[in-house]
Structure 1
Amino acid sequence: DLLRPIYAPTAAYGHFGRTDVDLPWERTDRVDALRTAAGL
């Protein structure tokens, strides 16, 4: 979605471990479903 630039907040200070912005690739809410799907 080019009208919602979600990467703009990461242009400064990076993105790893930040809690002040909601970054979809930092979410861990699907861990259990992914483990089950992977057979772990």
Structure 2
Amino acid sequence: MVSYEVSIGLILITVLICVGSCNLSEIVMAQKQIWFGIPL
């Protein structure tokens, strides 16, 4: 059984690799061009 910490960690690592920064405002600015999720 995989704990929720592992899955959240993998999601955060993926976003940080795509953006290349830990700065929250840079992550938000990067989402203007590409969504990091699937719209429902």
- Report the TM-score, using the length of structure 1 for normalisation: 0.31
**Which structure has the larger Rg?**
1
Q: More helix by proportion, 1 or 2? A: 2
- Report the TM-score, using the length of structure 2 for normalisation: 0.31
